[in-house]
Amino acid sequence: MNSVIFLTIVLLALSSYFFGRKKAILIQSNKRLTALPKFYGYYLAIWCGAPAFLLYALWSIFEPSIVRFFILSDYSSQGLLEGELNLFYEKVKSLSRNQYSGELTAELQRSAEKYLNFRDIAKWSKVVIVLSLLIASTGYAYTKISNNTKTREPVEIFLKGVFFLSSLAAILTTIGIIFSLLFQTIEFFQVIPLFDFVFGMHWYPAKAFVRDASEALDPSMYSDTFGAVPIFAGTFFIALIAMCVAIPIGLLSGIYMAEYASKRLRQYAKPVIEILAGIPTVVYGFFAALTVGPFLKDLGLSLGLEVSAESALAAGGVMGIMIIPFISSLSDDVITSVPQNLRDGSYAMGATKSETIKRVIIPAALPGIVGSILLGVSRAIGETMIVVMASGLAANLTLNPLESTSTITAQIVVILIGDQQFGDPKTQAAFALGLSLFIVTLVLNIVALSVVKKYREKYE
């Protein structure tokens, strides 16, 4: 039904374009127009489609809650709790779809009939009201069209408005992220003290298995369950291992590409290295779990070391490989943009190429390099699938790279995979972890981007 209304609006708007243009052409035969005939078409199409669509959208958003209000208004005065009302309303809805299998009361039956009735009224009044608004606005615009109506300006202002709204999408996304994370996190901290979360040493979310609603609000159940220190430590530890792989290889290859490599090598090797950044992370995860993990385990056995099959080293090492291209490309760009006269000055003093690089170019490019490393760290902290598949899921507080550890991202996946119950501290804990992840990466990105930007301005 909804899609029929939507299509009708679209089709009517399209056809009114032709009516508007036709009228303009008719006027044109004896009077001069103020805009091209097609603008009259657009003008009419916008007047036809936009108000009707807006009303239709608002109606669709508010209809469910208004119907709910009318149905429940008979019962809400009886002193029922919000939860009971919700349950009752769900029952009414499933009964109206003939999917209800519980106990049937007269009250329920009456409400279900009323519900169907209301839905019917709502549906048809929506059709009638939206269509009459459409006809009214189109008719108004049609009669307004004359040789000296301004049509181009309103159409352009409308388009500009649409463009502006599109540019708000990014802000809305950010607001959505913050809203969804913050909302759940605040509820989480109403049950778990912030101090326990930030400084607690034990993380066993599986312990917080809630059997019924009364238990959920009992904080004593969660003591020593949601201490995030092992998770934070694991996250930074794995990121550290990753950077130990990525920084030397990425930086050295970036330097070589920028300073030594012939044009041909650069032309071929650079895109090939960048393939590493384009491989999906789940593929790296599989590689780490299937190949690197067992390889390290066997290697450890032959050296007499106990290596877990899901070690932090395997996950971190493979993650490092993934980050190489981020660091090499960015540092390559940064080094290439160091002005040539710095190099010439150094050569003129008799320095070799490597001395020039080490003593002149790298110090000059340092802010940019640091920025690229920070971006790499932020990637490593936010990386999910490699850790989920290759490192353990149990949160051990350890500094031994041969044991398994867990990270923020992996724990979010562990908690939220499968069915989630909103309002359960376990689910909320995942959102609290998400918020900490968001803040950490945001700070890293802002710092990194501003460092790189400042650096670019220095040499431009």
Partner 1 sequence: MNKEERLIKRYKAEKRFQFYGKAAIFMALLFLVVFLTKIFSTGYTAFQKTWLVIPVNYNADLLYLDPDKKPTTEDINDADFYEFGIETFITLDPNASEDQIMELKKMFAFTFERELKYYLLDNPDSFGKTVDVKLTASDDLDQVFKGNYPRDIPENRRRASDYQLKIFDKLNEDGRVISEFNASFFTNADSREAELAGIASSFMGSLFSILVCLSIAFPVALLAAVYLEEFAPKNRFTDFIEVNINNLAAVPSIVFGLLGLGVLLAVFGLPRSTPLVGGITLSLMTLPTIIIAARASLKAVPPSIREAALAMGASKMQTTMHHTVPLALPGTLSGTIIGLAQALGETAPLILIGMVAFVNTIPGTPMDPAASLPVQIYIWAESAERGFVEKVSACIMVLLFFLIFMNLGAQLIRHKFEKKWN
Are the C-beta atoms of residues 251 and 369 closer than 8 Å to each other? Answer: yes
User: Using the rule CB under 8 A, is 305 a contact of partner 1?
Assistant: no
Closer residue to partner 1 in complex, CB, 133/413: 413
CA 49/CA 133 separation, integer angstroms: 10
User: Using the rule CB under 8 A, is 291 a contact of partner 1?
Assistant: yes
Among 224, 354, 363, 454, binds partner 1 (CB under 8 A): 354
448: helix, coil or strand?
helix
The identity of residue 6, as a single letter, is F
Contact segment (CB under 8 A) with partner 1 among 110-118, 127-135, 236-244, 277-285 equals 277-285
The encoded tokens of residue 122 equal 């709502």
Among 84, 90, 120, 156, binds partner 1 (CB under 8 A): 156
Closer residue to partner 1 in complex, CB, 71/323: 323
Q: Interaction with partner 1 in 203-262: which residues (CB under 8 A)?
A: 248-253, 255-257, 260-261
User: Using the rule CB under 8 A, is 60 a contact of partner 1?
Assistant: no
Q: Which of 53, 52, 42 is nearest to 19 (CA)?
A: 42
User: Using the rule CB under 8 A, is 7 a contact of partner 1?
Assistant: no
User: Using the rule CB under 8 A, is 164 a contact of partner 1?
Assistant: yes
Among 381, 395, 429, 451, binds partner 1 (CB under 8 A): 381
User: Using the rule CB under 8 A, is 336 a contact of partner 1?
Assistant: no
Cα-to-chain-centroid distance, residue 259: 38
The encoded tokens of residue 125 equal 């009044």
Find the shortest distance in angstroms from Cβ 239 to partner 1: 12
Closer residue to partner 1 in complex, CB, 233/375: 375
Find the shortest distance in angstroms from Cβ 185 to partner 1: 10
Contact segment (CB under 8 A) with partner 1 among 44-52, 107-115, 212-220, 416-424 equals 416-424
Is the sign of the CA dihedral 348, 350, 354, 358 positive or negative? Answer: negative
Q: Interaction with partner 1 in 176-205: which residues (CB under 8 A)?
A: 176-177, 179-181, 183-184
Contacts of 43 (CB under 8 A, 6+ apart): 20, 141, 145, 149, 151, 154, 155
Among 4, 106, 272, 348, binds partner 1 (CB under 8 A): 272
Closer residue to partner 1 in complex, CB, 112/412: 412
Among 79, 83, 102, 278, binds partner 1 (CB under 8 A): 278
How many residues bind partner 1, per CB under 8 A? 87
Among 54, 57, 162, 349, binds partner 1 (CB under 8 A): 162
Contacts of 332 (CB under 8 A, 6+ apart): 254, 255, 257, 258, 270
User: Using the rule CB under 8 A, is 119 a contact of partner 1?
Assistant: no
The encoded tokens of residue 313 equal 């080293």
Among 105, 174, 190, 336, binds partner 1 (CB under 8 A): 174
Is the sign of the CA dihedral 368, 370, 371, 376 positive or negative? Answer: positive
Are the C-beta atoms of residues 385 and 281 closer than 8 Å to each other? Answer: yes
Find the shortest distance in angstroms from Cβ 390 to partner 1: 10
The encoded tokens of residue 320 equal 């490092």
The encoded tokens of residue 94 equal 């499933």
Name the helix (H) or strand (E) containing 341: helix 340-348
Among 57, 121, 136, 282, binds partner 1 (CB under 8 A): 282
User: Using the rule CB under 8 A, is 67 a contact of partner 1?
Assistant: no
User: Using the rule CB under 8 A, is 442 a contact of partner 1?
Assistant: yes
Contacts of 375 (CB under 8 A, 6+ apart): 326, 330, 444, 445, 448
Output DSSP code: residue 203: B
CA 182/CA 167 separation, integer angstroms: 24
Contact segment (CB under 8 A) with partner 1 among 4-12, 129-137, 296-304, 442-450 equals 442-450
User: Using the rule CB under 8 A, is 150 a contact of partner 1?
Assistant: no
Find the shortest distance in angstroms from Cβ 110 to partner 1: 26
The identity of residue 310, as a single letter, is E
Closer residue to partner 1 in complex, CB, 9/357: 357
The identity of residue 354, as a single letter, is S
